[in-house]
Structure 1
Amino acid sequence: MWFDPACPWAWMTSRWLMEVEKVRDIEVSWQVMSLSVLNEKRDLPKDYRAMMDQAWGPVRVVIAARELYGEEYVKALYDAMGTRIHPGGDHDYQSVVVGAIADVGLPESLAKAATMKKWDAAVRRSHKEGITLVGIDVGTPVIAFGDTAFFGPVVTPAPKGEAAGKLWDGTLLVAGTPGFYEIKRTRTQGPIFD
């Protein structure tokens, strides 16, 4: 799964996938993608552009942690950041980064990676890896399973138990159908972080 810590819908999907791991024979590999990269050449409202500019920080930190300390910190940092951002409501990404780093026991100095452009090439590579599987008309999350890759699903609240497994089964069925591209309806509520 490719995620951006800033995306509430990726957060919901990640919580669902964690449930799927309990009821289906899958093991999720966690990868970074970036809404900042996805949106960098788009004309966006001023407030959303400001958020995209700040959203570089968390993805840089996750990438730096992976490179410096190991793959196991990708999911750990995502969980720590996502918990602070989404159910926690903290949208001060510097505060989120500092707190998440402390939560997972990494050195405080890692927080400097949030403003270091030297990590951007690795962010872009990881992002490109995910987006290449599904095309540029989507965002985060991206999920790949075998030869099947797709955006989403966008779901709230995250299904639990066998309901999570059934959604997984159905998602693989439709996404794996040759020529199948999209199911969509208007969202009538925001993410439910329970």
Structure 2
Amino acid sequence: MRPIELRFEVLSLAVINEHRDLEPWYREFNDRAWGPARVCAAVVAQHGAAALARLYPALGRRIHDQADKDFDTVIPAALAEAGLPVELADAAHRSDFDQEMRASTARAQQLVGEDLGTPTIAVDDVAFFGPVLTSIPRGEEALRVFDGVRLLAGCRAFSELKRARAEDLSFA
């Protein structure tokens, strides 16, 4: 509908929260998140950011929409869907790409500060955590959301918006 340059980068909640005191359920979530984040970092290192832009939604559909938390099956299936070598799934259980994952996460923290999560976005050289959406807007609605984010990014005083989640997540 109009050209927008979009680039995905790895931001790891596991890295952000690794030394924080967390509730047990959230600690388990973060500990398990190392695997998919490591695979994403491996994909960027070996195939570039465009490949991550294909992999990320394939992972999201399986993990969130289909509620499949078996990462050992989710990751290879998502890699195959994204047209990437399925062997990259092995990176989930290795630390080979942790340095790249930590560096990418650190870049996001430098832009936003310590109080960040996913998604973190940068628009017009301003970065912030959010917007958190329960589904993917399409067409004119997507443009309105993007324009709203750009408008907020242009206001130096903007800090935060938040409300309770009204729907389950959907990547459809």
Q: So what's the TM-score if we normalise by structure 1?
A: 0.81
Partner of 1:16 in structure 2?
none
Q: Conserved in 1, the CA contact under 8 Å of 2:36 and 2:75? A: yes
1:4-83 equivalences in 2 (<5 Å): 23-83=1-61
Change over 3 Å in CA distance of 1:96–1:117 after alignment to 2: same
Residue by residue over 1:127-162, the C-alpha shift from the partner in whole angstroms, topping out at 9 and shown as x without a partner, is 111221111112111111222212111123332221
The answer to whether the aligner puts 1:108 opposite 2:70 as a matched pair is: no
Contact 1:142 1:149 in 2 (8 A): yes
Does the residue aligned with 1:117 lie in a helix, a strand or coil?
Answer: coil
Structure 1 alignment gaps of length 5 or more: 1-22
Q: Aligned equivalents of 2:146 and 2:83: distance in 1?
A: 33
Structure scoring higher RCO (CA < 8 A, sep ≥ 6) equals 1
Q: CA deviation at 1:43?
A: 1.5
Distance 1:159 1:172 in 2: 16
User: Contact 1:30–1:75 at 8 Å: present in 2 too?
Assistant: yes
Q: Report the TM-score when normalising by structure 2.
A: 0.90
Question: Structure 1: how far apart are the matches of 2:147 and 2:48?
Answer: 31
Q: Secondary structure at the match of 2:132?
A: coil
Partner residue, 2:73: 95
Query: Alpha-carbon deviation of 1:193?
Result: 4.3
2:134 counterpart of 1:166: no
5+ residue gaps, structure 2:
none
Q: Number of residues paired by the alignment?
A: 172
Q: Percent identity?
A: 45
For residues 114-153 of structure 1, the aligned pairs below 5 Å read: 114-153=92-131
AA of the residue aligned to 1:53: D
Q: Where does structure 1 differ by over 6 angstroms across 4 or more consecutive aligned residues?
A: none
**Cα deviation, residue 25, structure 1:** 2.8
